[in-house]
Amino acid sequence: MRVLQIIDSLDAGGAERMAVNYANALGDKIEFSGIVVTRKEGVLKNQLGDKVAYYFLNKKKVIDFKAIKLLKNIIVKNNIDILHAHGTSFFTAFLLKTICFKIKIVFHEHNGDRSNQSFFKNLPLFICLFFFRKVLVVNKQIESWFHQIGIKKASYFPNFASLESNDTQKTFLNGQEGKRIVCLANLREPKNHSVLIKAFAQLNLKEEGWSLHFVGKNHQDFYSENIIKLTKELNISDCVSLYDSKSDISNILSQTTIGVLCSTYEGFPVTLLEYGLASISVISSNVGFCSEVIIPNKTGLLFKSNEVDDLAFNLNKLVNDIGLRTILSTNLNTLVRDNYSKEKVVSSLVSVYKTAINEV
């Protein structure tokens, strides 16, 4: 079997990390595993394994004939059976299908807010879906929504996390050991970093030696400017650090005590699985698939999205109870390894590919 993942960039986002994870994991399982990036390279390129073939299209516009022709050449040269399109790359995959009829396309929807978008915003996707063999979605809610609009070939497919890396980058977190709170999320909506800043300040954790660390793409825009402004207004700027995109996630989490996810919506956040593999205690907003991974008072704590007081209440519980942190982190690690292991998910994915290839 010969499979090519396609993704628009290799910035450190959820869909991008999953595309890299699949490419790496398949390298040991199938005859050929590759990944093609359409628009922009990024820090995740450093995480690609030696057995993964890498290609870059350098696509400059929505319909870029030169890029599509290059993609077709890659498909033909490597005799690709399956093109696995992640997120917004679905349109490039569709364009390829118009000139490369035999290719089988599996589309992977990572957008947890898809069902809340307007019909007209989703219309390009609806049209393209008719040309795809399989549609994989990251939680049951999105699966149900696809079925309701008549896309019966959509099915839920779990993510998995991997902290394996070939990267030599070494990030050192500021702050006191044992008192670091990390949020792995790009600096943009709907990641909602401000609610964590407010909760941190409300608990006066600065005076207790705790520090806050945001690891994710910083676009140097209005969103990040507001974060910096808020930390100054609340007089905690000296204990809040922004690190931009990083690829040495395992190294970063080894320096972390508490992991937080604050999003107002999510599909299936890989971040929670990474927190689990790193055996740190977790607080998450109760959105998307999060409650399937974070079981209150068993594998972590949940708070109502966008409610500062609720987050502060739960954060205070973890900060002041080492025993609770140990129990939650151990249970989460066990849940992730038992239910979202690389071996189990990749085996299921290979079965999906085989079905797509054999369908008439």
Over residues 197-239, the pLDDT tens digits come to 999 999 999 999 999 999 999 989 999 999 999 999 999 999 9
Q: What b/e sequence results for 22-43 when a residue is b if at least 16 CB atoms lie within 10 Å of its CB, and e otherwise?
A: bbbbbbeebebbbbbbbbeebb
Please give the backbone phi and psi of residue 215, each rounded to the nearest 5 degrees, phi first: -115, 110
User: What integer is the mean pLDDT of 21-34?
Assistant: 95
Q: How much of the chain exceeds pLDDT 70, in percent? A: 98
Query: Average pLDDT of 68-75?
Result: 97
| 288 confidence band (pLDDT: 50, 70, 90) | confident
What mean pLDDT is reported for the chain?
Answer: 94
Is the domain spanning 2-160+342-358 CATH 3.40.50.720? The answer is no
Q: What mean pLDDT is predicted for residues 98-108? A: 95
**Which segment of 131-135, 165-169, 234-238, 336-340 scores lowest on mean pLDDT?**
165-169
Strand partners, 4: 34, 83
User: Residue 172: CB partners within 8 Å, gap ≥ 6?
Assistant: 255
Question: Residue 3 in 3-state DSSP?
Answer: strand
Say if CB 207 and CB 198 are below 8 A apart: no
> In which order are the strands placed within the sheet that holds 2-9?
52-56, 32-40, 2-9, 82-86, 104-109, 134-137, 154-156
pLDDT at 12: 84
State the pLDDT at residue 166.
63
pLDDT for the residue numbered 179: 97
Q: What is the mean pLDDT of residues 186-205?
A: 96
Q: Which CATH superfamily is domain 180-339 in?
A: Glycogen Phosphorylase B; (3.40.50.2000)
The neighbour count for residue 244, using CB atoms within 10 Å, is 17
* pLDDT value of residue 165: 66
Q: What is the mean pLDDT of residues 331-347?
A: 93
More confident residue, 38 or 11: 38
Q: What percent of the chain has pLDDT over 90?
A: 81
Question: How do 258-261 and 180-184 pair as beta strands?
Answer: parallel
Question: Is 121 exposed, middle or buried, given 0-12, 13-18 or 19+ CB atoms closer than 10 A?
Answer: exposed
- Mean pLDDT within 335-347: 92
Q: What is the pTM of this model?
A: 0.85
The confidence score (pLDDT) of residue 45 equals: 94
Q: Is the pLDDT at 313 greater than 80, yes or no?
A: yes
DSSP string, 34-88: EEEEEEE--GGGGG--TTEEEEE----SSS-HHHHHHHHHHHHHTT-SEEEEEGG
Residue 168 confidence (pLDDT): 64
Q: Where in the sequence of the chain do the CATH 3.40.50.2000 domains occur?
A: 2-160+342-358, 180-339
| CB-CB contact of 99 with 227 (8 Å) | no
Give whole-number Cα distances, 213 to 13, 282, 299, in Å. 17, 14, 22
Q: Report d(CA 261, CA 269) in Å as an integer.
A: 9
The tally of CA atoms less than 13 A away on the side-chain side of residue 3 is 29
CA distance 306 to 283: 13
For 139-173, what is each residue's pLDDT tens digit?
888 999 999 989 999 999 999 988 876 666 689 99
